[in-house]
A and B are shown apart, each in its own frame.
Chain A
């Protein structure tokens, strides 16, 4: 078990360009979450997947953002026509899932994040 990994760790891009980030969760974790963290703030929820199904998207996720988890394993987050306000740390987390009916909540395991800078 190598933990949650994210690629790239850093991305610098010019305004208007498209960028794509990848997250590889812990194997066999059903749930995958994307969060965004701006400087000096706590992370904010963007979207989450149960296997390959995207179950919820935050209002923060404008039409320029799209996330996929095609085979229920890794996930990608794409930002089209980047804006300077998109500069942030993008965090991915995974959790086993499936224990909620028993009244348990799961620990989420975070990746190292992808720091995006839009010039």
Chain B
């Protein structure tokens, strides 16, 4: 069993649909990163959260620390949202090496 699991692995949706990507983890401290990776490899940090919910534009991330589960939502999805979304958890305070999920490949069709 992977220490950080994401679902689904692949997701194709029509433009405008509401998107949900899930992440469950069994390791790390009580915080989680959501990252976006476009073709070509560059990774952008979207959110880091340790409780509750964060919102940035059309992106919303939630986390349940007790259940070690997080979700990333995209409202009014757009083709430019097509990317791989990766969740990652830090090992602990003072050693923040990340353990990554395998990613969710999102494709939004116009």
Binding site for B on A (CB under 8 A): 31, 33, 35, 37, 40-45, 48, 55-56, 89, 91, 93, 95, 100-101, 103-113, 115
- State the 6 A-B residue pairs at the shortest beta-carbon distance, nearest first: A42-B100, A100-B93, A110-B43, A113-B41, A100-B94, A45-B97
- Answer yes or no: B109 CB below 8 A from chain A CBs: no
In residues 57-86 of chain B, which contact A (Cβ within 8 Å)?
86
Report yes or no: A42 in contact with B50, Cβ–Cβ below 8 A. no
The size class of the interface chain B forms with chain A is: 20 to 34
Report yes or no: B33 in contact with A108, Cβ–Cβ below 8 A. yes
**Majority secondary structure, B binding face:** strand
Cα separation A110 to B45 with both chains bound (whole Å): 8
Given A89-B41, A113-B41: A42 and B93 interface contact (C-beta under 8 Å): no
Cα separation A105 to B98 with both chains bound (whole Å): 11
Chain A residues with Cβ under 8 A from B7's Cβ? none
Given A31-B96, A105-B90, A105-B96: A42 and B48 interface contact (C-beta under 8 Å): no
Other A-B contacts than A42-B102, A56-B97, 7 sampled, CB-CB below 8 A, are A33-B98, A100-B93, A106-B48, A109-B45, A110-B35, A110-B44, A112-B40
Question: Which listed residue (A40, A48, A100) contacts B97, Cβ 8 A?
Answer: A48
